[in-house]
Amino acid sequence: MKNIYLAGAAAVALSIGAVAYASQPAFSPRSDTYKQLELFGNVLAIVQQDYVVPVDSKKLINAALEGMLGSLDPHSNYLSDDDYNDLKEKTRGSYGGIGLEVTSEDGAVKVVTPIDDTPAQKAGIQSGDYITAIDGTSILGLPLNDAITKMKGDPNTKLIVTIVRTGKTEPFDVPLTREIIVVKSVKTRMEGDYGYLRIASFSETTANDTKTQLADLMAKNPKMKGLVLDLRNNPGGLLEQSVGVADLFLDGGEIVSQRGRDPKDIIRYQAKKGDMLNGKPIVVLTNPGTASAAEIVSGALQDQKRATIVGLTTFGKGSVQSVIDLGDNRAVKLTTARYYTPSGRSIQKTGIEPDLEVAQSKEQAKYIATSAMQYTEAAYGNALNADEGKARRSAHAVQEVPPEDFDTKTGDFELTRALDVLKYNGDVKLAAAHPRGAKLADADLVDKPGAKFDAKAKAATPAGTVSGASSSSASSSSSSSSSASSSSAEKK
């Protein structure tokens, strides 16, 4: 019998994690445990006998198992037949659905990240969105796995998801058509003289695909001067695959260590000789959607001084889950270890901070500057504690944001700054000393007191009127100006 070890981003069956295998442990229940089990049996019998309608004992027991494991931490849970199949589909890299990584938060389904080139991503669903209804039926309070089942289905079938998004005053519907989701975890292209490698997740073939595609890119571009490794919104994946990817760029040394409850229970993963890029500079792009297995790669390359990190602080999931096969296509996903970067740091709750902090937009920078509780591992009430004395960096002004003349709809400012670092041969200090953008001023980050009220009052003022005494020419001017504004708005 085998166990699977996971280090994924989200507390759901759709999140994969870092996966390995081990033997099922032996255990000996204590007498007090027997008493509690007897109590459980008594309660179950009462429900079966006296509940107002007949109940399915299997569903009750499954719910009890899910509740027990879910109370431990956000990433431990019970996998029934369907859930276990979902997990295995995910690690294989294909399934039928809309292409979302999701988690459960206070009875709601929250989007961890949309998967690249899927219906959800193409429709504009974003990390941090809440899904409150499917096909007009509320899913609030529905078990996460049931909500996931509703989103999955045969290709070419349609559904409508209702989204609640921070910054939007009203929920809105997004129509989608299901597809066979084949997760293309690796993409490459050239950005001028530099290679660009995007890894969307770590599935069963990611390390090999990365090696193959990068070798092909280098063969076609023998004068390639460096590489951008894009791990933004990568929710994690198989541990062995993240180790394999990091190994491609290291010429030896530790990649990550895995430490269990017993202080002696330590597994160290070492890089082999041979750096595919032969020392050419690397920049890794990260953001709060960069999690777990993706953080293993980021942390290894940063600690080994092999790469510079550009972007935003990562999610902060520093734990490994074991998926223990129970037979009959059922399993337990249980947090069994923490992982540590080569320098010995745990990033649990804190994340990996970039060497050059760059926001993709002013809106993103404002969120980081004003939101006390962002969507990260630290936001989970039952997350494992961080190392003693450590805490995630609180709300703050981002080091650099796009300048006024940068088109954030068509351009990628974080990628632009990553390429700048490569142009300085990987010297992030030189790139920081020559910023393309600048910090937002405090006045830009936080609305002035009463600003929202003033805006609403102005919007409520009839066109052509001004407060206080005014001349007819002033009214005329105001009316003319208002008409021009209306015309402009209609064109938009």
Residue 224 has pLDDT above 80, yes or no: yes
Residue 92 has pLDDT above 60, yes or no: yes
Report the C-alpha gap between 208 and 214 in whole angstroms.
10
Closest to 364 measured CA to CA, from 199, 167, 124: 167
Least confident of 141-155, 192-206, 328-342, 462-476: 462-476
Residue 458 has pLDDT above 80, yes or no: no
Residue 286 to residues 81, 165, 338, 353: CA-CA distances in angstroms? 35, 22, 21, 9
Residue 254 has pLDDT above 90, yes or no: yes
The answer to whether 428 and 389 have CB atoms below 8 angstroms apart is: no
Report the C-alpha gap between 429 and 435 in whole angstroms.
10
The answer to whether 155 and 180 have CB atoms below 8 angstroms apart is: yes
Residue 16 to residues 92, 359, 479: CA-CA distances in angstroms? 10, 27, 59
pLDDT at 444: 66
pLDDT at 167: 85
Instruction: Compute the average pLDDT of residues 355-380.
Output: 86
The answer to whether 4 and 323 have CB atoms below 8 angstroms apart is: yes
Instruction: Compute the average pLDDT of residues 233-245.
Output: 93
Q: Helices marked H in 16-143 — which ranges?
A: 31-50, 57-70, 81-92, 119-122
Q: Is 5 helix (H, G, I), strand (E, B) or coil?
A: strand
What residues are annotated to the active site?
Answer: 292, 303, 317
Confidence of residue 367 (pLDDT cuts 50, 70, 90): confident
pLDDT at 469: 36
pLDDT at 464: 44
Tokens of 323: 């998926």
Pairing of strands 172-177, 158-164: antiparallel
pLDDT at 94: 67
pTM of this prediction? 0.72
pLDDT at 489: 36
Residue 474 has pLDDT above 70, yes or no: no
249 vs 21, more confident: 249
Residues 6+ away with beta carbon under 8 Å from 362? 401, 402, 440, 444
Tokens of 12: 């759901």
Instruction: Compute the average pLDDT of residues 310-337.
Output: 93
Instruction: Compute the average pLDDT of residues 241-268.
Output: 95
Rounded mean pLDDT of the chain? Answer: 84
Instruction: Compute the average pLDDT of residues 284-306.
Output: 97
pLDDT at 82: 79
Report the C-alpha gap between 151 and 109 in whole angstroms.
11
Confidence of residue 15 (pLDDT cuts 50, 70, 90): very low
Q: Is 6 helix (H, G, I), strand (E, B) or coil?
A: strand
pLDDT at 80: 87
Residue 71 has pLDDT above 60, yes or no: yes
The neighbour count for residue 326, using CB atoms within 10 Å, is 14
Residue 108 has pLDDT above 50, yes or no: yes
Report the C-alpha gap between 254 and 243 in whole angstroms.
10
Residue 119: φ, ψ to 5°:
-55, -40
Residue 295 has pLDDT above 80, yes or no: yes
